[in-house]
Amino acid sequence: MISEKMEAALNEQLNKEFFSSYLYLSMAAYFENKGLPGMANWMKLQAEEEHQHGTKFYEFIIKGGRRIKLTSIEEPKFEWTSAKNAFEESLAHEQFITKSINELTDLAIQEKDHATKTFLQWFVDEQLEEEATVQQIVESFKLVSDHPAGLFMLDRELGQRMQGAAE
C-alpha cells in the first residue's frame, strides 16, 4: 500500500513530468520559429514522451488506491540564446529529473514500498538513457560549432527521430 508520504511524492513527480512535457513543447515552438524543423520534431516527440511518463505516474497512483493531485504548471521558458543552449538546458533539466527520480526511489526504499520501487526502476533506467541521448546531442553541437552547414546537418539528423524511438 502506498503511504500518504509516498502518494505526495509521486504526485509531485507526476507534475514534474507534465511540466517537462510543457517545457519541451516550448522548446519545439522555439525551434519552429528559428526554422529548425528537425529539432522541433525531436522536441515535440520528447514532449509527448514526457506526457506519457506523467500518465504512467497517474495510472500507478490510481492503481495503488491513492488520489491524484494536479497542480498548476509553471510557465516554461520560451527563448534561448541558441539551439545549442536549448539542448544544454534540456540536459540540465534531465539531470534534475534524474535526481528527483533517484530521491523518489530512495523514499520508496525507506518506506519499504517494494511495488513503488519496482515501478520506479523503469524510470531510473529511462533517465540514464535520456541523459545519454541529450548529452550526445550537446556533444554534436560542440563539434559543429557555429557552422551553418553543421547546424543544418544536425537539424536533419534530429528530424529523423520517430515516435517511440527514444523510449
Matching residue, cell 493531485: 69
26-35 pLDDT, tens digit per residue, is: 999 999 999 9
- Distance from C-alpha of 31 to C-alpha of 140, rounded to nearest angstrom: 17
- Distance from C-alpha of 6 to C-alpha of 4, rounded to nearest angstrom: 5
Number of Cα atoms under 13 Å in the Cβ half of residue 143:
10
- Distance from C-alpha of 76 to C-alpha of 53, rounded to nearest angstrom: 18
Amino acid of residue 87: F
The angle formed by the CA atoms of residues 88, 53 and 75, to the nearest 5 degrees, is 55
CA 54 to chain centre: 10
68-88 pLDDT, tens digit per residue, is: 999 999 999 999 999 999 999
pTM: 0.93
**In the prediction, which pLDDT does 105 show?**
98
92-151 pLDDT, tens digit per residue, is: 999 999 999 999 999 999 999 999 999 999 999 999 999 999 999 999 999 998 789 999
pLDDT category of residue 37 using cuts at 50, 70 and 90: very high
Nine cell digits for residue 157: 539528423
Domains contained in the chain, CATH given: 4-73+80-158 (1.20.1260.10)
**In the prediction, which pLDDT does 115 show?**
97
**In the prediction, which pLDDT does 166 show?**
47
Q: Is 34 exposed, middle or buried (0-12, 13-18, 19+ CB in 10 A)?
A: middle
Burial 6-21 (b: 16+ CB within 10 A, else e): bbebbbebbbbbbbbb
Nine cell digits for residue 159: 528530424
Number of Cα atoms under 13 Å in the Cβ half of residue 37:
1
16-26 pLDDT, tens digit per residue, is: 999 999 999 99
